[in-house]
Structure 1
């Protein structure tokens, strides 16, 4: 497994992060098998959020981890807070952040989080309140590093004006199908396509300029909830190229799709969501695949993009 050092953050972190959103559907024994499979494949970074199963993902992880034989100090545990589906709101108030972390630690049966991400922007967030919350959590030893998820550059700048701790991660959606983070630069000043629209404030370039590690979520996803493009009949050309490279490299098509993200020089991590041990092992092979410059562009164009 390839590892990276996150600037001002976790060191020797696996480039593939095991997402735990689907863990509530598993028994603790099944969850333990998924965790151990990922770990044996070289994954040492596990991602949670308070809204994943309304906390049940963290509960199941805590039940399963002792069954794996993995030591807490040998892995990075990350969680996110701020989304409240039951209240239909996002909340980054100091009170909410502090209460969320206490709940996370209680459900996970741990004393500290390696990383805490603020999960999608609260439209009413007060950066001074966030700063106070981060200071409290750092002083209490409850969180080692901090970051954000789905945050625009100017919102990050606003946070950075008040927050003392470096924001080391921004978790953003990216896949061959959902490649808006990359697309817009190709179509600058091109009024013939809406792909010229800057939808994200050039957040990928911003993160690179400011040493913020991007964690790409839903790397196989169509849209937000459209299922996977792997073996999807709506994406014949993409699956053809994925198959050719997968056969050449003796890996799965899913591994090639994840490798496409890891090939980017931004040095990203990729969050995978499957709980299937076979699929976990297959996708983790992505860290060992080397795509050429030409391979990367072939996949990009096969996903439905075009060069101006």
Structure 2
């Protein structure tokens, strides 16, 4: 989402670094950039993928946010029209995974189902998912949509972890952490229905208000991160990644960085074997309560 101002060389270096680190998954959205489809277009212009290179990547994009409102639109016409725009911008003949970006209060699931059926039948989209959806919103879609919902992309970091922390503190009277704000058990729902959770903003302290790594606002957490980074011989960003990938839900981490060195460092966290005590120590140090 931040490559609009990057040069072709910078974009190629970023993607090459990711590929060398074993990453073969690219996350886009129609609204990323200053204008509609701009980041998708810049990616295609810089990479100019050969057919073999395209086949080696999984390309995901999203639909549904109308920035000039702002509002959300999951009408048949908007979904299909946005996908056509993404295909042109990405210079590809198919989207590997299409996500509904944020819940549309006016969603008519029959319209979503019609769009998904048409896009799948035409070979333009291979798989479908959602982003920032509650379990009940997903269940409503699943009643009408034939295709499996394979992804739910949700904000998650050590410090922004309600989808985990609420469950840990369940049944605690008067404990704010136990308040269910997401429809209840979104992570457990995903595991029950084979939905992969993709963690966006994995290093953000909250909702786009700065990273926690190295932040003076999180001295206890960073002390634990730095100690574990030293123990395992990895950069701190790898520990932050490992806290997510250690979870048995087998979540994917959406890095969101344009710094090649951070991509390399973060990728090292996916193989970091944090112990259960270490995972919970990070959880407590971030301010979450363990009853």
Q: Structure 1 residue 191: deviation in Å?
A: 2.4
In 1, are the aligned partners of 2:150 and 2:196 still within 8 Å (CA)?
A: yes
Aligned with 1:170 (options 152, 155, 160): 152
Deviation at 1:158, TM superposition (A): 0.7
Written as runs of structure 1 = structure 2, the 5 A alignment for 1:48-59 is 48-53=28-33, 54-59=36-41
2:7 aligned with 1:24, yes or no?
no
Partner of 2:225: 242
Residues 91-115 of structure 1 show CA distances to partners (whole Å, capped at 9, x for unaligned) of: 0000000000000000000000000
Return the alpha-carbon distance in structure 1 between the equivalents of residues 167 and 98 of structure 2: 31
Match of 1:292 in 2: 275
Q: Secondary structure of 1:31's partner?
A: helix
Q: Which runs of 4+ in 1 moved over 3 A?
A: 67-70
Alignment of 1:231 with 2:214, yes or no, is: yes
Bigger Cα displacement from structure 2, 31-40 vs 183-192: 183-192
| Correspondence for 2:198 | 215
| Bigger relative contact order, structure 1 or 2 (CA pairs below 8 A, ≥6 apart) | 1
Alignment equivalent of 1:72, drawn from 51, 54, 66: 54
Q: Deviations over 1:176-224 (max 9, x none)?
A: 0001001112222322321110111210000001110100111111111
Distance 1:25 1:241 in 2: 35
The separation in 1 between residues aligned to 2:5 and 2:162, in whole angstroms, is 31
Q: Which residue, 32, 38, 61 being the options, matches 2:18?
A: 38
Paired residue secondary structure (1:52)? coil
Determine if the alignment matches structure 1 residue 154 to structure 2 residue 164: no
Corresponding residue of 1:116? 98
Could you say which residue in structure 2 is the equivalent of 1:140? Answer: 122
Q: Is the 8 A contact 1:29 1:67 kept in 2?
A: no
TM-score normalised by structure 2 residue count: 0.96
Question: 1:280, CA displacement in angstroms?
Answer: 1.0
The gaps in structure 2 that reach 5 residues or longer are none
Equivalent residue in structure 2 for 1:282, among 237, 249, 265: 265
1:302 counterpart = 2:279: no
Aligned equivalent of 1:125, options 79, 88, 107: 107
Cα distance in 1, alignment partners of residues 237 and 226 from structure 2: 10
Structure 2 residue 242 is the aligned partner of structure 1 residue 259: yes
Superposition CA RMSD, Å: 1.3
TM-score (norm 1): 0.91
Partner of 1:180: 162
Please say if 1:97 is aligned against 2:79: yes
Return the alpha-carbon distance in structure 2 between the equivalents of residues 240 and 189 of structure 1.
Answer: 31
- Asked whether the equivalents of residues 221 and 282 of structure 2 are also in contact (C-alpha less than 8 Å), the reply is yes
Structure 1: gaps of 5 or more residues: 1-20
SS in 2 for 1:214: strand
Give, in whole Å, the separation in 2 of the partners of 1:146 and 1:234: 38
